[in-house]
Structure 1
Amino acid sequence: MGLIAKYTLGLKPGLTIILVSLPLYIYAWFEFRSYFYNGVHGVLVSSFFIDYFHSLTALHTPPILISSITGGFLLGAGIGMMLLTKASAGGVDLLALILAKVISLNVGIIILIFDSVVVLFGWLIIQESTLIYSGLMVGMVGLTTFCITTTFSPQH
């Protein structure tokens, strides 16, 4: 959602993530206090670094297919490990933690569903090739998060 806001409104992605996450953190403060404490630092730090390192996108990057797969795997691994400790980086991760507790569905699947919907909405403004690679990355994030949270969950 941060990238869609960047492309449509020219906003900084990290700042957008904080703004979009704000209602979720207010809700977590009242209903899931541990999720608030475990995640507020994550959203602030990750959003700061997203905006801080944005200028690096002008540098030479590896092939986008490799970046999509590797980035999705690394993001999914990091998110999966955070979610095992009930921590989050905000946004969809926090929403997925809350929903997983309510509807008893794996948090990785919930993240995959939400991120897929966001990517599908992105087809209105993002070029087709970027959309395909974004979908591949989202799939890797969801699959990796699902595998980590399923395999290493304290209930197993």
Structure 2
Amino acid sequence: MRGRGILLIRRLRDYFTWHLFKHFIGIVIGSTIVSISINTLIIPNEIADGGVTGIAIILHYLFNWPVSWAVLMLNLPLFLIGLRMVGRDFLVFSIVGVAVLSATLSLTTNFPALTDDTLLATISGGVLTGIGMGIIFRSRGSLGGTDILAVLFARTTSFSVGQILLGIDAVIFLVAAILFRPEMAMYAMIYMFIATRVVDLVQEGLSVSKSVLVVTTQPQRIAEQIMAKLERGVTLFQAIGAFSGEAKQVVYCVINRSELSQIKEIVRDQDPLAFVAISEVPEVVGEGFSSWKGH
């Protein structure tokens, strides 16, 4: 028994060590991509950014301070403020994320600018930054900064974390517009919008699935056709119409986008009067779709 217990402890130790190592590698890769985006696209084209990185970039434009050091120094007091206000895991991963970002920003400082076209730099920078941040978030990392302030203020005010972050970014963009030129803030908003959308794509995946809910009088026939033709699992459950008070049968299924026309045809053939609701499912984990591996 004792030998088995020791073996189990070793396996758990190896698992968590490898698990944390994979997170760290993800944070390094994501931070490197974000740093390349900032040093080769955003700074050379004088585009603003949001959060602490945006403040660091503004200080760089004003006083020529290294962005890497500014990011680190601006985050230090925020970490001290958040020491007792946010969760330990969040704080630890935030510190790791900021330290790695600062290091990669320093290492990529002398990388040449990829383009002098401001609009192209805005779009490309948004895509690159979004990919990098998405990888960081998937690795449980964080870039700290205003995220900590947002969590802190959300606990003491009636505003949500998202609203506070939006307000902070709006102030940073306004300052950039006043100190430099309005176009800088305009490009920054485009950059942040693209980056946010790409982060969602990296987090949720590109293969958006569809969920299909069918209220029908022929649930068994529709379910059998879906399982036979599409080889998809189907769930049947009971429902009651609120207006009529009648018992209803509901068919629920998740499919790939390419299978949507087939399932519509199946429902139309089996029950033309069926009620069908179709919605997007950003991510599906389970048989026939992605597995938990890599999550």
1:7-66 Cα distance to aligned partner (Å, 9 max, x none): 222211121111111122112322322122111111011122223322224x44263223
SS of equivalent to 1:35: helix
Per the TM alignment, residue 85 of structure 1 is displaced from its structure 2 partner at its CA by: 5.9
Q: 1:122 is matched by which residue type in structure 2?
A: A
Instruction: Tell me how large the CA RMSD over aligned residues is.
Output: 3.3
Q: Distance in 2 between matches of 1:19 and 1:47?
A: 10
Distance 1:138 1:80, change over 3 A: same
Structure 2 spans left out of the alignment, 5+ residues: 1-54, 205-281, 284-295
Per the TM alignment, residue 91 of structure 1 is displaced from its structure 2 partner at its CA by: 1.6
In the TM superposition, structure 1's runs of 4+ consecutive aligned residues that sit over 6 Å from their partners are 146-150
Q: Distance in 1 between matches of 2:164 and 2:196?
A: 8
Q: Percent identity?
A: 21
User: Match for residue 10 of structure 1?
Assistant: 64
Greater percentage in helix = 1
User: Match for residue 46 of structure 1?
Assistant: 101
Greater percentage in strand = 2
Q: 1:48 is matched by which residue type in structure 2?
A: A
User: Match for residue 122 of structure 1?
Assistant: 176
SS of equivalent to 2:108: helix
Distance 1:62 1:94, change over 3 A: farther
Per the TM alignment, residue 125 of structure 1 is displaced from its structure 2 partner at its CA by: 2.5
- Does structure 1 retain, via aligned residues, the 8 Å contact 2:176–2:184? no
**Counterparts of residues 1-156 of structure 1 (less than 5 Å):** 1-32=55-86, 33-57=88-112, 59-61=113-115, 63-83=117-137, 86-96=140-150, 98=151, 102=155, 105=160, 107=162, 110-145=164-199
Q: Distance in 2 between matches of 1:50 and 1:4?
A: 15
Per the TM alignment, residue 6 of structure 1 is displaced from its structure 2 partner at its CA by: 1.0
Paired residues in the alignment total 149
1:77-108 Cα distance to aligned partner (Å, 9 max, x none): 44345446653112224434x2597468464x
What's the TM-score, normalizing by structure 1?
A: 0.72
Q: Distance in 2 between matches of 1:131 and 1:7?
A: 14
SS of equivalent to 1:50: helix
SS of equivalent to 2:188: helix
Tell me which structure has the larger Cα radius of gyration: 2
- Does structure 1 retain, via aligned residues, the 8 Å contact 2:176–2:182? no
Q: 1:53 is matched by which residue type in structure 2?
A: T
More contact order relative to length (CA 8 Å, sep ≥ 6):
1
Q: Distance in 1 between matches of 2:203 and 2:83?
A: 24
